[in-house]
Amino acid sequence: MSLIHIQNLNKHFKVLNRREGIGGAFRDLFSGSYRTVKAVDDISFDIEAGEIVGYIGPNGAGKSTTIKMMTGILKPSGGTLQVNGLMPYNNRIKQAQIMGVVFGQRTQLWWDLPVIESFKILREIYKVDQKMFDRHMGMFDELVGLKTLYSQQVRTLSLGQRMLCDIAASFLHNPQVVFLDEPTIGLDISVKAKIRSLIKTLNAERNTTIILTTHDLGDVEALCQRIIIIDKGKILYDGDIKRVTALFGAYRTLKLQIDNYADSTLQSLQEKLTEHFGADNGCTIAQTEEFWTDVTFDQARTPLSDVLGQVMANFRVSDVRIVEISMESVVQQVYDGALR
Ligand SMILES: Nc1ncnc2c1ncn2[C@@H]1O[C@H](COP(=O)(O)OP(=O)(O)O)[C@@H](O)[C@H]1O
Ligand SMILES: [Mg+2]
């Protein structure tokens, strides 16, 4: 039996239909007009002990909702969910002993206490014996220099330091599975690298199963063999990451601020690229935020310098940024049949 077994799992939320303004809000209260959000819509997968699985998808895809069900915080609306043979929601206390969880937006540490006191409280809660506690604390210190933070109040830690502490804390009681929900959000490259190596080492040394959600494709490339892509509550892909990186590894997005931007700009940009590179050039153009035009292109087919050259030759550009391919465009390309 797999460590995590999920079959036809659903989570539906009933949400009030909102209307504008105070009067609208008042009427909403009594209208009883609801709609159903299918946050998780009939998903199935199995995860084996020792795997690191990247659970990825755009905002609102249903990642956190799935994790909340797996950790017993939310009750499923339907379907089968077992972790280590038990249904998490009905066995919360028992399950807490075999799980660790980190939500990137929150901390499980005590805000006003020094770091080491938080770890001592967790030791009591999880009944970790002194020997194991000392061994684990020694290991965390070796990996990320935890000792230097022991006496610091949690509220005074930087976001990156706090996240390192939170991740270490989630492994303290040697759980079978650790859920990490957006652990690298808002962190700079050097802290991300530390977090990746912490996760990798802990998985390798203890065979801890890890489910990781992230917006950062670099995280999944560094850590996961297997990824599950979810969007709108449904699973789009479940398999080896290599198939996905082979397709997307060469993609980059050129973000442009074009002067005198008009409605026709996107189309004329498309025409210029087609003129120069042919119809099958693999470039996609979109306006994702105000004043910025995104050209996503495949470096293997259309090198950056050529794409940029074409843009500069035909448009007045006031600012340029180059970014790795976004989660949103990966998902778009999966819909477009990229993995078929
Ligand atoms: N408590 C809730 N009540 C109503 N809708 C919710 C609730 N939690 C999440 N949702 C909705 O469910 C969908 C999935 O949310 P979530 O699982 O948080 O996505 P993700 O973590 O992938 O960004 C979203 O449309 C979100 O608005
Ligand atoms: Mg989330």
Task: Supply the pLDDT for residue 290.
Answer: 80
Pocket test for ligand 1, best of 14, 59, 64, 65 (most atoms within 8 A of CB): 65
Nearest ligand 1 atom to alpha carbon 62: 17
Task: Supply the pLDDT for residue 171.
Answer: 95
The answer to whether residue 29 scores a pLDDT higher than 70 is no
CB-based pocket (< 6 A), ligand 1: 13, 15, 37, 39, 57, 59-65
The answer to whether residue 25 scores a pLDDT higher than 70 is no
Pocket test for ligand 1, best of 14, 34, 37, 41 (most atoms within 8 A of CB): 37
Spatial neighbors of 86 by CB under 8 A, at least 6 apart, are 94, 95
Q: Give the three-class secondary structure for 286.
A: strand
Q: Are 207 and 34 in contact (CB under 8 A)?
A: no
Q: Are 323 and 255 in contact (CB under 8 A)?
A: yes
Confidence of residue 28 (pLDDT cuts 50, 70, 90): low
The answer to whether residue 154 scores a pLDDT higher than 70 is yes
125 CA distance to ligand 2 centroid (A)? 27
> Which ligand gives the minimal distance to the CA of 56?
1
The answer to whether residue 67 scores a pLDDT higher than 80 is yes
The answer to whether residue 31 scores a pLDDT higher than 80 is no
Task: Supply the pLDDT for residue 205.
Answer: 92
Task: Supply the pLDDT for residue 246.
Answer: 73
pLDDT in tens, 107-128: 999 999 999 999 999 999 999 9
Q: Are 4 and 70 in contact (CB under 8 A)?
A: yes
Tell me the average pLDDT across 134-162: 94
pLDDT in tens, 190-200: 889 989 999 99
Which one is predicted more confidently, 236 or 215?
236
Tell me the average pLDDT across 242-253: 78
The answer to whether residue 72 scores a pLDDT higher than 70 is yes
The answer to whether residue 22 scores a pLDDT higher than 70 is no
In single-letter form, the type of residue at position 41 comes to D
Specify the CATH number of the domain 4-246: 3.40.50.300
Residue bearing the CA closest to ligand 1, atom 12: 39
147 CA distance to ligand 1 centroid (A)? 37
13-17, 87-91, 163-167, 235-239: least confidently modelled range: 13-17
In single-letter form, the type of residue at position 97 comes to Q
Measure CA of the first residue to CA of the last residue in the chain; give whole Å: 30
- CATH class, range 250-324: alpha beta
The answer to whether residue 24 scores a pLDDT higher than 70 is no
54 CA distance to ligand 2 centroid (A)? 13
Q: Cα–Cα distance between 220 and 217 in angstroms, integer?
A: 5
Tell me the average pLDDT across 157-184: 95
Average pLDDT, the chain: 90
Q: So where are the chain's domains? A: 4-246, 250-324
283-312: b (≥16 Cβ within 10 Å) or e = bbbeeeeeeebbbbbbeeebeeeebbebbe
Nearest to 248 by CA among 326, 182, 193: 326
Spatial neighbors of 191 by CB under 8 A, at least 6 apart, are 160, 163, 164, 184
Question: Residues with beta carbon < 5 A to ion ligand 2?
Answer: 63-64
The answer to whether residue 136 scores a pLDDT higher than 70 is yes
The answer to whether residue 21 scores a pLDDT higher than 70 is no
**How far, in Å, are 15, 110, 245 from residue 33 at the CA level?**
9, 40, 44
User: Phi/psi of residue 277, each to 5°?
Assistant: -105, -5
Residues 2, 3, 9, 13, Cα dihedral to 10°: 180
103 CA distance to ligand 2 centroid (A)? 9
